[in-house]
Structure 1
Amino acid sequence: MIIQQPYYEKTGFKLYHADCLEILTSMPENSVDMIFADPPYFLSSGTFTCQNGKMVSVKKGDWDLSNGARDNFEFHLQWIKACRRVLKQNGSIWISGTYHSIYQCGFALEINNFHFLNDIAWFKPNASPNLSCRFFTASHETLLWARKDKKGKHTFNYELMKNGNWPEDQLKKAGLQMRTVWSINTPKPTEKTFGKHPTQKPFDLLKRIVLASTNKGDLIVDPFTGSSTTGIAAYLYGRNFIGIDTEKQYLDLSIKRFEEFEDMDNLKLINKC
């Protein structure tokens, strides 16, 4: 039982204003069906990038400042260990990242005895250009998918992934198996109506992950919930959700986004999936 009171709570949707280790360590063991995590990339270094055609600072916040490779790795090791404790035996975890973080996360998964299922290349057709013209343009992120137990039987909704309607992905061919390269644009302007998180993920990406690896009624946890795209996808498709974040401003953004969809009349079409 989680002792701390939720920052926000509605049926099937909870947000906690806390360090994820505080909440994860107080949750019952073997209680979570799926975890999606987009941890800090520790990329904020005073450099610049391109956003909407303008040069902007890379710094996303103090939470994204690097403490050095050893401390960064220890951080990933500890939160992934806490995730493993709360996952059910057949549960799985998704982790999103760039080369700044994803290799450390992958090694931390190995140390914590997870069993890898896939690595997904999320290709961004509308990625921002490289300003320095000294490197290839970064146009993808990596998603790691692993299950808690090598002998477990993780959820994978194969038929839906193969034969479902995925118009947002120009690489997905109708009637063929879904492959490990997904072509999905970055968040639409309508997903930023109330503001945005600096590493916000598109709804179409989380929709696919939720539908691929969970069933209705399952519990999904996001330990770095940000603007809670995971939670919105979970809620709209009939899953239960717990989101955790240290930044109050992004929890408030999450609430505004969630309440936009709370009217059940908006869910009739979506919940047919």
Structure 2
Amino acid sequence: MPLPYFQSSNKDFTLYQDDCLSALDNLQQPLNMVFADPPYFLSNDGLTVKNGKIQSVNKGQWDKFTTDDETYAFTYDWLAKTRDKMADNGTIWISGTHHNIFTLGRILPQLGFKILNVITWEKTNPPPNFSCRFFTHSTEFIIWARKHPKVPHYFNYKLMKQLNNDKQMKDVWRLPAIAKWEKSCGKHPTQKPLALLAQIILASTEKGDLILDPFTGSSTTGIAANVLERNFIGIDKESEFMKLSQDRYQDLQQEGRKQFFKEQFNRLLNKSM
């Protein structure tokens, strides 16, 4: 196994700087849960609005669109390798928009996954549509699937019901995009909010479980996992994102930080429905 870019002293937070296809070959432990936020391939020189300013949609070379066939092959390959490393009762969550969600929905059953839900994340603070020629994009989708059609998966139904005022939780979650307190060490261009990952982790894992993010970016998955006492492995090719992930982990170890994050999770998740 290659040496990690960074590993915590008790080995509950590990980062590998590598292509996810290569790194997945070397993983040994069975994964209880995977969260993946793969490239949406949206860097097409278009424009968007952020913080009231018109900006480029380009995220980096890793998000550049290639061809449909290459995108399909890449998606199939990383999902197949990820599935091989999952525990038999493990589940995977994959974030997307209409640009990639249909490809994911086609490939998952081909590989033997069973799709459990398609969560709609409704952002309470989406950027405006400055062209005024179509509706404002305010949602993303998260597919939740288990490894085998007939092997039961873990789901903390009781807690999810508790977070939803003692009612069954729906597949539409209303949560804000990232807040200032989540950017203390810097920001990734496609960073997900911690509360979103906290809800996913609480729903589908237990303390001590192993979680993988094969496109870890700033390791929001890992930060939420560490606060919630899960083990984490993150993979990314980009050195700047590796450093950002390590900085976020080390910041989290400062006195009072984990408690602050827990309080933020509780506040946001109890308002998410």
Report the counterpart of residue 215 of structure 2 in structure 1: 224
Summarize deviations over 1:62-118 as a string: whole Å, max 9, x none. 000011111111111100001100001000000001111111111121211100100
Report the counterpart of residue 16 of structure 1 in structure 2: 16
| Displacement of 1:198 | 0.8
| Amino acid in the other structure paired with 1:21 | L
Q: Are residues 1:25 and 2:25 paired?
A: yes
RMSD over aligned Cα atoms: 1.5
Q: Distance in 1 between matches of 2:185 and 2:69?
A: 37
Q: Distance in 2 between matches of 1:160 and 1:239?
A: 17
Query: Do the aligned partners of residues 57 and 267 (structure 1) sit closer, same or farther apart at CA in structure 2, a change above 3 Å counting?
Result: closer
What number of residue pairs does the alignment pair up?
A: 261
Report the counterpart of residue 166 of structure 2 in structure 1: 175
| Displacement of 1:264 | 6.4
Q: Are residues 1:74 and 2:98 paired?
A: no
Q: Which runs of 5+ in 2 are unaligned?
A: 267-273
Report the counterpart of residue 136 of structure 2 in structure 1: 137
Query: Do the aligned partners of residues 189 and 265 (structure 1) sit closer, same or farther apart at CA in structure 2, a change above 3 Å counting?
Result: closer
Report the counterpart of residue 157 of structure 1 in structure 2: 156
Q: Are residues 1:202 and 2:226 paired?
A: no
Summarize deviations over 1:176-225 as a string: whole Å, max 9, x none. 11100000000001111221111100000000000000000100000000
Give secondary structure in 2 for the equivalent of 1:72.
helix
| Amino acid in the other structure paired with 2:207 | K
Summarize deviations over 1:108-130 as a string: whole Å, max 9, x none. 21211100100000000100011
Report 1:225-244 matches (<5 A). Answer: 225-244=216-235
Percent identity reads 47
Q: Distance in 1 between matches of 2:99 and 2:259?
A: 40
Report the counterpart of residue 37 of structure 1 in structure 2: 36
Report the counterpart of residue 4 of structure 1 in structure 2: 2
| Amino acid in the other structure paired with 2:214 | P
Q: Distance in 2 between matches of 1:251 and 1:102?
A: 26
Q: Which runs of 5+ in 1 are unaligned?
A: 165-171
Q: Which runs of 4+ in 1 moved over 2 A?
A: 263-271
Q: Distance in 1 between matches of 2:50 and 2:256?
A: 35
Report the counterpart of residue 167 of structure 1 in structure 2: none
TM-score normalized with structure 1 length: 0.92
| Amino acid in the other structure paired with 2:68 | A
